[in-house]
Amino acid sequence: ATLRLGEGMTGHAVQTNQPVYATDAQHDPHFKWVDEAEETPFNSLLAVPLTIETDVIGALNVQTVRPYTFTSNDVEILSLIGDLAAGALAKAQLYDRQRRQLAEMRALAQVSEAITAPQYLDDMLDVVMEMAAQVMNTAVCSLFLLDETGAHLELRSARHNDNPYRHRPPLPLGEGVTGTVALTGKPMYIADVRTDPRYAGHELARAEGLVSLLSVPLSVRDRVIGVLNGYTAVPRAFTEEEQTWFATLANQTALAIENARLVTHTAVIREMHHRIKNNLQTVAMLMQLQLADADRLSARDVLETNIHRIRSIAAVHEVLSDKGFRLVDVKDVLLRITRTTSETLTTPHQDIRINIFGEPLLLPSQAATALTLVVNELVQNALEHAFVGRTTGQIDISLGHSPAELIVVVKDSGRGLPDEITKGLGLELVETLVTADLHGRIKFQSRPNSGTEISIRLPRNVEIRN
């Protein structure tokens, strides 16, 4: 049960900082019966304020069942007891405040350790959100970051994995509390997000049991990059110390995010340099091998062949650009590049189908580039030589693995490859890439009018080689 300042005899004692007493309390003009207190019916009441120096922090009262006339000695004794109680409360509050400050300092130290540890950004943010929720005693802590356009805020981390709050759509900059904080760079406090018109998610707040909100900007060198939110499950006014701690946490986190982005950017540049160098070396090797057949091939043939090979390399980097700088799904690359190769090398009257079977095959970029070149070279040979004089045909590419090897099989339904083709430049390139770059082995099986089957076996550890 609670009383507002000045409400009831006890509230009046706090408001006036003076003792209040009455023999017949229920007829006192300041009396108020509080049903929630479940008090025993009484007649007389004496209330004295609890003061620490000049600040009134509460009140102490005594009640009697029978009518009693309080004397000045009674008032003096209860006031003395009140002073002792106020002193004890002051010490307890000081102890609690110091303990909380120590916990906050330890939490900031843990946050500093977390944000400097070698881990992915999202993992680091999850650790920070968990610590923030514990220290602030909040139901939900969440962190939004501006997207690349700077027009929307995306939820990057929230305390509860199963909480529907995590599935919030991007928030437009300047809209709602989070958007306003990001736009202005000023913190905001909302006493009740369930009803405040500045908060846009009333239904979500009610469903999740969210009440009070403290929202602070994530800023780096006067530039806002996101927003940190803390929600409570009950009405609450955040103390000045809590607001300061939350803002300090936001500043630390913002700096960690910016540093992580710089590290990632540097790593991406280094990785791009590494890949470009490797691909230039591959192109140089292709050109060098082409010199062996320079007398037999026309300049147009040389250019067309190398265009197909460079497109294979480009397809790998297209996947890298779409899906990030980690592993490449060779199946995805082959789906893209074989379609282009087929359209280029078949006539309008031919219906040559290329089918790709099997599970995704994830490889580092260099291995993926080499394997894509190999398979596309085999497809190109089949399209150029296996279906001469035929209007229909089929090329099947299967991707699989055994416990020790990755297995790729390219099989066509054509007329079989003649000896001069199996000994030519294209398949020499295939063998070089398979054995030298991929550390694997290759096997050819071709019979007249029965098609050709080529199996490639690579060690499983090619998946982790770079």
Do residues 442 and 377 make contact, with C-beta atoms less than 8 angstroms apart?
A: no
Residue 275 or 413, more confident: 413
User: Residue 40: which domain range?
Assistant: 8-98
For residues 134 and 215, state if they share a domain: yes
Give mean pLDDT, residues 203-213.
Answer: 90
CATH of the domain at 93: 3.30.450.40
Best mean pLDDT range from 25-29, 228-232, 251-255, 274-278: 228-232
For residues 170 and 258, state if they share a domain: yes
Last residue of a domain, one of 43, 70, 98: 98
Residue 413 resides in a domain: yes
**Which pLDDT belongs to residue 416?**
84
Task: Give residue-wise pLDDT tens across range 378-412.
Answer: 988 888 888 888 899 999 999 999 989 999 999 99
Q: What Cα–Cα distance (Å) separates residue 69 from each residue in 18, 61, 72, 253?
A: 18, 14, 10, 62
Query: Which amino acid makes up residue 237?
Result: A
Distance, CA of 126 to CA of 130 (rounded, Å): 6
CATH of the domain at 429: 3.30.565.10
Contacts of 372 (CB under 8 A, 6+ apart): 312, 313, 315, 316, 330, 333, 334, 337
**Among residues 214, 231, 222, which one has the least CA distance to residue 255?**
222
Residue 108 resides in a domain: no
Residue 302 resides in a domain: yes
| Angle, CA 408 vertex, CA 403 and CA 412 arms, to 5° | 145
Average pLDDT, the chain: 80
Backbone torsions φ then ψ of 408, nearest 5 degrees: -125, 125
Q: What is the pTM of this model?
A: 0.43
Domains of the chain: total: 3
- What 347-351 contacts at long range (C-beta under 8 Å, 24+ apart), as own/partner pairs, is 349/391, 350/387, 350/390, 350/391, 350/392, 350/393, 351/391, 351/392, 351/393
For residues 94 and 122, state if they share a domain: no
Task: Give residue-wise pLDDT tens across range 153-182.
Answer: 999 888 764 454 556 788 999 999 999 999
Residue 451 resides in a domain: yes
**Among residues 418, 436, 423, which one has the least CA distance to residue 293?**
423
